[in-house]
Amino acid sequence: EVQLVQSGAEVKKPGATVKISCKVSGYTFIDYYMHWVQQAPGKGLEWMGLVDPEDGETIYVEKFQGRVTITADTSTDTTYMELSDLRSEDTAVYYCARPSSSHNRDFDYWGQGTLVTVSS
């Protein structure tokens, strides 16, 4: 059974950095990119970027460029999303999501979500 299990909720102060993990099981980690999606409270879904666990290559959306780093650790089958210089508007639930096949971009498996609250 494919599972994506994310780390727990975080509370951070403005200007801080948060790092969220997403540990996978039930499939071969390096066979699928891993994507990250942001959802602010009461808002829609916003794609942030992806990592190819096989070689660490990343693609980020311009909005988060320079503040987001997505990495993959093949020794633990875990991906990480680090967001720096946090602002109040970064308060959101962050999801990791696996595409339905190796080069598709629709997501058939999602993590449970991690709430990040940015507050002074």
Partner 1 sequence: DIQMTQSPSSVSASVGDRVTITCRASQGIISWLAWYQQKPGKAPNLLIYAASSLQSGVPSRFRGSGSGTDFTLTISSLQPEDFATYYCQQTYGFPITFGQGTRLEIK
What the block records as the tokens of 7 is 């780390």
3: contact with partner 1 by CB under 8 A: no
> In the block, which residue shows the tokens 């780390």?
7
Q: How far apart are CA 101 and CA 107, in angstroms?
A: 9
**Residue of 1, 75, 106, 120 interacting with partner 1 (CB under 8 A):** 106
Q: How far apart are CA 68 and CA 85, in angstroms?
A: 9
105: contact with partner 1 by CB under 8 A: yes
Nearer to partner 1, 46 or 52 (CB): 46
Footprint of partner 1 on residues 31-60 (CB under 8 A)? 35, 44-47, 59
Q: Is the dihedral of CA 107, 52, 101, 66 positive or negative?
A: positive
25: contact with partner 1 by CB under 8 A: no
**Residue of 76, 102, 104, 119 interacting with partner 1 (CB under 8 A):** 104
Nearer to partner 1, 27 or 47 (CB): 47
Classify burial at 34, counting beta carbons within 10 Å of its beta carbon; exposed 0-12, middle 13-18, buried 19 or more. Answer: buried
Nearer to partner 1, 32 or 107 (CB): 107
Residues in the chain: 120
Residues forming contacts to partner 1 in the complex (CB under 8 A) are: 35, 44-47, 59, 61-62, 95, 97, 100, 104-108, 110-113
